[in-house]
Amino acid sequence: MIFIDRSIPKGVADALKCVREDIIWLEDRFNHRAKEIEWMPVVGSSDWLAVLRDKKIRTRPLERQSIFRHGLGCFIFTQNNNPSRWDYFKLFAKTLDEMEQRYADTAKPFIYLVDRDGRIRLDEAFAGMVRNGRIS
């Protein structure tokens, strides 16, 4: 399953649902006000690939610790501007197969960063914390 956080517009998730049966948007399962530390345990224990745009999640200790503790595999879109729904959809179309392959091949927890051109790279800062067993 592919879990899409509310930081990605619902219309994008709905469009993906038209062509895939394995898409879950945050509000399909959780309250609109659900915080990351509420959905992360469920997504991690369900072994769902998580896609979000919340760049600040990488700098918030509680969210980083939750990603680590619950063994999440996260892909974070890193665009500086606000992409249109069409831009998001094109980015999903361009990168989703590779995200799924990396999700299958990479030990969790991890964070991959996805730029606006579809380049995917491991978040080395988070990976270093995981290697050291010290998430702060």
pLDDT tens, residue by residue, 45-58: 999 999 999 767 76
Q: Kindly indicate the confidence band of residue 37, based on its pLDDT and cuts at 50, 70 and 90.
A: confident
Region of poorest pLDDT, from 13-27, 30-44, 99-113: 30-44
Cβ atoms of residues 114 and 91 within 8 Å: yes
* Domains: count for the chain: 1
Long-range CB contact pairs, 57-61, < 8 A, 24+: 58/111, 58/123, 58/125, 58/126, 61/135, 61/136
Using CA atoms, how far apart are residues 30 and 51, in angstroms rounded to an integer? Answer: 15
Domain that residue 104 falls in: 2-132
Q: Kindly indicate the confidence band of residue 92, based on its pLDDT and cuts at 50, 70 and 90.
A: very high
CA separation, residue 136 to residues 19, 45, 65, 126 (Å): 39, 22, 7, 10
